[in-house]
Amino acid sequence: MTGHIETRLAELGVTLPDAPAPAANYVPYVVVGDMVYVSGQISNADGELIKGRVGDDLSTAEGAAAAKTCAISLLAQCKAACDGDLDRLVKVVKLVGFVNSTADFIEQPQVINGASDFMVEALGDKGRHARSAVSAASLPLGVAVEIEAIFQIK
């Protein structure tokens, strides 16, 4: 049976992928009490990495679309941490977003809004969170965006 959150995602045309496997010597998430700490998820759409530097190869809007893909992967990891029951999600506590951008690019918050806006659209008040949005000179595999998250679960 599909839960409330996955029903809402389906209404938005989003199907969560399988939680991505870690690419190195770390785990995709750690559960401590009622908190889930999810490792950084990189911009990836349908198995294709979204690469490039925002402010050079990509526009702010394209960066925001890349950030949304990170948010979808973050929810997939949260679902895995909740043994497949995403309705155990209580709250998105914090997102930390990294934007592969040029030295003079100043719209990192608007890029990470792609993830933040999606979390609120999909989860309502549960999706409202604290956040950081910072620039990076480079990100793994040349991706445009990487975002990590902290979730509260029950």
Domain ranges of the chain: 34-153
- Note the pLDDT tens digit of each residue in 88-135: 999 999 999 999 999 999 999 999 999 999 999 999 999 999 999 999
Q: Tokens representing 72?
A: 């979808």
Cα(68)–Cα(112) distance, rounded to whole angstroms?
8
Homologous superfamily of domain range 34-153: RutC-like (3.30.1330.40)
Cα(11)–Cα(9) distance, rounded to whole angstroms?
5
DSSP secondary structure code for residue 17 in this structure: P
- Note the pLDDT tens digit of each residue in 48-80: 999 999 999 999 999 999 999 999 999 999 999
